[in-house]
Every structure is written in C-alpha cells, then in structure tokens.
Structure 1
Amino acid sequence: MKQQAAICPVEAALSIVGGKWKLQIVYCLLNGTKRFGELRRLIPATTQQMLTLQLRELEQAGIISRLVYAQVPPKVEYSLTELGRSLEPIVHQMHAWGEWYCKQNDIEYWQLSDHMEGHVPM
C-alpha cells in the first residue's frame, strides 16, 4: 500500500474547493438541484467549458452528484451530496465575510437571490 505524504488540512480543503468557481457552484446548489443552464445563468462570468470542468472536478471529489436522464435532448441535474452539504456553514461564513468586506471597501456586490431575478448590485 502506497503511503501519501502528509499535507496541511487547509491545502487539502483548497485542493477540493479552491479556485474561482467551485464555491460559487456549491453556493448555487445550496438552494437545491440545478440544471447546467441554470448554473450558467447564475454564474454568467464563467465559460461553458470552465463550468463543465469545475462540475466534473466537484463530482470526482464527491461534492456534487450528477444525474443524467435518458431522454432526447439530454437532461442533466446537479445537486450537493452529503459531503457537499457539509460545506454549507463554511460557504455561508465566506458569503457573510465577503459582504462585510465589500461594505468596508465600498464595493458593489449582488445577492444570489437578486441575481436569480437579474443582476441587482447592492
């Protein structure tokens, strides 16, 4: 059996959810199952290719599940696994800190609930 080298727990966490889009994807899925097109609308700054890559990596890590329906055209839904749901308090804390930071630095930001109805800066 091959033994892995020890790593820092922060490094381990970032290897799973690090990057610009993964936590945003998790944040979007906290409200329930989403189809690919819904995620594209909720995260418009990402490209289709990047979103696909990030979803695959999150699925491989066990954070999200991907359900493919056998129909034409294909229908695919993404949802959080139990492991993915365990990120909820962390994501909410990061969201709250991000809001605080934006307010402290007079930076416009949007709420996901606002974004679902269109981009509404705060």
Structure 2
Amino acid sequence: MRHTTSEQSGEIGHQTEIHGWDPELVPGSAGRTRRPEPGCPVEAALAAVAGRWTTLVLRELMGGPRGFTELRTRLPELSAKVLSERLRTLQESSLVTVERRRGFPVRTRYELTEAGRALRPLLVELYATGERLLRLREAELPARPARFT
C-alpha cells in the first residue's frame, strides 16, 4: 500500500500524515508531532517554566544575580526546600548558574544563563495572556442574582 498524499507533499513527517499545519503555530518541522516530544519547541519552553513557583523564581532572577537569602526575602511564602529544588532544577536545565563564594557562611549567588534570559519574552507573554484570559472568563460568567437576606 502506498501513501501518495505524504509522498507527494514533500513535508517532513510520518508517511500516513495528511495534517495541514498552521504555519504560525507550527513554523518548523520540530513541532509537527502527534504527542508531546522533548524536541518540540513548545514542549521545551513549557518544561523550562514548569513547576509551581518556577515562574516567580525566574522573574526574580531576571533582575540580576541573587543570593539564596535574597530570593527567600523576595518570595517569603516560598519554603527554603522548594526554593532549593527549583534552583536545582533550573541549574540542571542549564537555565541558571550557581556561584559559591568562600567564607563563613558560604554565600551562594544564582544567575540566569543566556538560555534562562531567553525566557523573558515568554514570561511577559504568559502574563499578558493570563490577564486576557481572566478578563474573558470574568466577562463570560453568568450574572448572579442578588441575594436577599
């Protein structure tokens, strides 16, 4: 059996694929997938900001290098354990570098790498999109009748 549609289209993908990709949503072949793949640019971006508190830690580091205590002060409701976990994950993802300064106590500074700084437009757009979604959801809520007491 031949799959003439995919053979004639010249597009990269599985032979049985006959999907018309939206060029704005999928401008390159890496995103032409039927399931989440680590090599998909959208999945890579989402993985970089995944996890509760991650976007806030990134936001704080966008202002420049910060020490652990400074991050704790700027995010007082974030536990030291979770902050350590998020910073470790960001370091393992090559988004943050860590500098340990000698002395007592040892001082630790965290700084975004070039890849970490590249997340700034994504965070800005996520904020703007979130604001829009909240407004739209609010506008679509049915009017609630007044309660009489």
**TM-score, normalised to structure 2's length?**
0.59
Specify the code of the residue in structure 2 equivalent to 1:60.
E
Report the equivalent of 1:88: 120
Alignment CA distance shift 1:7-1:40 (3 Å)? same
Instruction: Tell me which moved more, 85-94 or 75-84.
Output: 85-94
Alignment CA distance shift 1:6-1:85 (3 Å)? closer
Deviations 1:33-69 (A, max 9, x none): 1111111122222211010001000001110111100
**Gaps in structure 2 of 5+ consecutive residues:** 1-36, 139-149
What count of residue pairs does the alignment treat as equivalent? 102
- Choose which of 34, 38, 60 in structure 2 pairs with 1:28: 60
Aligned-pair CA distance for 1:15:
2.5
- Choose which of 38, 43, 47 in structure 2 pairs with 1:15: 47
Aligned-pair CA distance for 1:17:
2.0
1:44 correspondence with 2:76: yes
Specify the code of the residue in structure 2 equivalent to 1:52.
S
Higher relative contact order (CA 8 A, sep 6+): 1
**Gaps in structure 1 of 5+ consecutive residues:** 107-122
- Structure whose CA Rg is larger: 2
- Choose which of 87, 110, 113 in structure 2 pairs with 1:55: 87
Specify the code of the residue in structure 1 equivalent to 2:127.
H
What is the CA–CA distance in structure 2 between the aligned matches of 1:66 and 1:23, rounded to whole Å? 18
Alignment CA distance shift 1:38-1:101 (3 Å)? farther
Aligned-pair CA distance for 1:70:
1.2
Q: Percent identity?
A: 32
1:65 correspondence with 2:122: no
**TM-score, normalised to structure 1's length?**
0.71
